[in-house]
Structure 1
Amino acid sequence: MWIVPERVIADLMTREAAFDAVEQVFAAMAAGAARNFPVVREALGHEDALYGFKGGFDGAGQVLGLKAGGYWPHNMDRRGLINHQSTVFLFDPDTGQPTAMVGGNLLTALRTAAASSVSIRHLARPDARVLGMIGAGHQATFQLRAALEQRPFEKVIAWNRSATRLDSLRVVAEEAGVPFESVPLEGMREADVIVTITSSFAPTLMAEHVSPGCHLACMGTDTKGKQEVETALLMRATVFTDEVAQSVTIGEAQHAVAQGLIAQTDIIEIGAVINGTHPGRVSDTQITLFDGTGVGLQDLAAASAVVDRAIAQGIAIEVEF
């Protein structure tokens, strides 16, 4: 069995490689060649932590496994560790034997950012020039870097409950040579693309804050009860997702579906756009929304790519198991 420690992931996984892995697995899902297993996510009743498992099998890529991990909200303050902690385990689909254990913290950040950037690549208007960011937590800088590579953005605007935390996004934008501005939520009307990445349980972005033709990547809702945007916005938009089953149960669409504002059948897998079986955006005034719930197959695809690179570079640690 191969072990790829967290400390070496940054030297192995590029944003481009993460993008390719996620795009391919979304396509395989839509084609029926890959499937996710039901998600287990529970409150531990200890350290206010959430813990769970995401797994699946990609028959096209022959990747089987799971990610174990969750969210420990006191890690940063008490221990100097990031709050999200996870590990990916891969298995031989022919025998069931374990083949790899891979550090999942940076991989999770990269694959989440890759998912939103895949949606921007396939759904945003070609002439999109203003990028909006909602949220400024740990994941936000990953989202911003990945998004900036998908269109020739000329400006980044951002909002966060605590405006002082926007400095990390300002640094990323300035490093990319793109002007940055902190705006009120109403200022998001200027954005051609908006990425939301918060852990909110009440809507922050309202329908009135979004202009026709905008593409939204809603990346923070991955648990029952969470909500980043007003349900009226999903009524105005064409809604795409990584996986419909998760979208309607733990994703951003859960509330609109529960209220009968949209139907499950209204939601489209983004893999269908990648495969060319759905047209995606059909007009410059259409609002498109990607509900990125985060599926186990994303983690497995990214981890498999990392293992291959680690073995090729002689970095992976081989152990008897």
Structure 2
Amino acid sequence: MNHSTPSSHLIPVTDSIASTGLGKEKGVIVVSEAVCQQIMGRADAFVAVQNVFSAMARHTAYNFPVIREAIGHADALYGFKSGFDRDGMVLGLKSGGYWPGNSEKQLTNHQSTIILFDPDTGKLASLIGGNYLTAIRTAASSAVSINHLARKASKTLGIIGAGHQSGYQLQAALDQRSFEKVVAWNNDASKLTKLAKICEERSLPFESVNRETLCAQSDVIITITSAFEALIKQEWIKPGTHIACMGTDTKGKQEVDARLFSNATVFTDELAQSITIGEAQHAVSAELIQSNDIIPIGDVINSTHPGRTSDKEITLFDGTGVGLQDLAVASAAVELAEVQGQANYFNL
């Protein structure tokens, strides 16, 4: 399985199901969590996410309004993300949420399933395990931002957070630049051992540091936490830094100083989510920036925006996580499972 990032852009993961006819007469396709982990690599996720960001910027792919609610049981948040990609002919939704007590049960706190439908008929087409795919699509999103926005000479990578997704974020980021060192911070430093092991396996120096030191050293910073307060101050960020804010996906969450938005060129996956539930919500509400100051990352991918324009420019990517990302990686997983003979079929 190839986990590296393709050097070219907008390449299909495989031939589309529509062109191959795979699965059309075999019933509903089921791709399990185990199969997704076996067949879906970082390179596949990168291509799928980059393609859908491109389609979103061209307005040929649309996210539908997100539903996210506390269910009043097990402290769980549950919801739906959905959309339609006309270019890829992918229609569906991700159903799932966050169960904070799952770690005590040896389960992932985030649980989800992705459901795809035939856009021509509305019939159920596929059921795909969503936990692993959510992790790699989130990592692919920050990786796309690093690929297009970080300075080519970036040497030190900083990670804020050590939760379930942090390892995926680290691996995907390391594919994008020739980093020479990784520094990290977590509220409980003992949990950084997972990131340290990844760096050891890749022969990269790793150091646990405080947040101010991390910002002083890092050329690229990824925040991947569930914080409701700023963990990074504006004055800590040095010129030329690229920051990928990946943890804020709910009203009230916050990872970085809102004042930072005034000094940065800001990009996002989707504007509507960025200003309402993403990291930009605080800067917009404080009138530090306006919504039209925020640039879709797809515009950079499509070369309709230059992206970074100088080595001293601070760039910030607000990765809110959109349903189309989930549908894109799920569609790619279905194609790969069929091609590799790993798909199961059921008549429902």
Pick from 39, 42, 46: which aligns with 1:12? 39
Equivalent position of 1:105 in the other structure: 131
1:129 CA displacement: 0.4
Q: Counterpart of 1:170 in structure 2: which amino acid?
A: A
Q: Counterpart of 1:117 in structure 2: which amino acid?
A: A
Is the aligned partner of 1:208 residue 2:208? no
1:45 CA displacement: 0.9
Distance 1:58 1:224 in 2: 26
Pick from 290, 298, 320: which aligns with 2:325? 298
CA offsets, 1:75-95, max 9 Å, x none? 011x21010000000001111
1:226 CA displacement: 0.4
Distance 2:210 2:107 in 1: 31
Q: Counterpart of 2:124 in structure 1: which amino acid?
A: P
Cα RMSD (Å): 0.6
Q: Counterpart of 1:319 in structure 2: which amino acid?
A: F
Structure 1: gaps of 5 or more residues: none
CA offsets, 1:163-184, max 9 Å, x none? 1111111111111111001111
Equivalent position of 1:258 in the other structure: 285
Distance 1:44 1:104 in 2: 20
Q: How does 1:260-279 map to 2 (within 5 A)?
A: 260-279=287-306
Distance 1:204 1:297 in 2: 29
Secondary structure in 2 matching 1:189: helix
Is the aligned partner of 1:72 residue 2:99? yes
Equivalent position of 1:81 in the other structure: 107
Is the aligned partner of 1:55 residue 2:82? yes
1:3 CA displacement: 0.5
1:69 CA displacement: 0.4
Equivalent position of 2:152 in the other structure: 126
Is the aligned partner of 1:46 residue 2:70? no
Q: Counterpart of 2:201 in structure 1: which amino acid?
A: E
Equivalent position of 2:119 in the other structure: 93
Distance 2:228 2:289 in 1: 20
Distance 1:189 1:52 in 2: 38
Pick from 218, 228, 232: which aligns with 1:191? 218
Is the aligned partner of 1:313 residue 2:348? no
Is the aligned partner of 1:288 residue 2:315? yes
Q: Counterpart of 1:153 in structure 2: which amino acid?
A: F
Equivalent position of 2:178 in the other structure: 152
Distance 1:298 1:12 in 2: 18
Distance 1:71 1:105 in 2: 11
* Bigger shift: residues 307-316 or 17-26: 307-316
Pick from 30, 44, 67: which aligns with 1:3? 30
Distance 1:67 1:58 in 2: 14
Distance 2:222 2:193 in 1: 17
Point out 4+ residue stretches in structure 1 off by more than 3 angstroms: none
Equivalent position of 2:165 in the other structure: 139
Distance 1:251 1:275 in 2: 23
Distance 1:45 1:201 in 2: 21
Is the aligned partner of 1:162 residue 2:176? no
Pick from 174, 181, 188: which aligns with 2:200? 174
Pick from 101, 116, 133: which aligns with 2:142? 116
Q: Counterpart of 2:205 in structure 1: which amino acid?
A: P
Equivalent position of 1:22 in the other structure: 49
CA offsets, 1:185-226, max 9 Å, x none? 111211000000000011111112211100000000001110
CA offsets, 1:46-65, max 9 Å, x none? 00000000000000100000
Distance 1:215 1:223 in 2: 22
Distance 2:114 2:310 in 1: 40
Secondary structure in 1 matching 2:259: helix
Distance 1:278 1:129 in 2: 25
* Bigger shift: residues 306-315 or 284-293: 306-315
CA offsets, 1:3-41, max 9 Å, x none? 111121111100000000000000000011101000000
Q: Counterpart of 1:310 in structure 2: which amino acid?
A: A
Secondary structure in 2 matching 1:231: coil
Equivalent position of 2:14 in the other structure: none
Structure 2: gaps of 5 or more residues: 1-27
1:235 CA displacement: 1.2
Secondary structure in 1 matching 2:276: coil
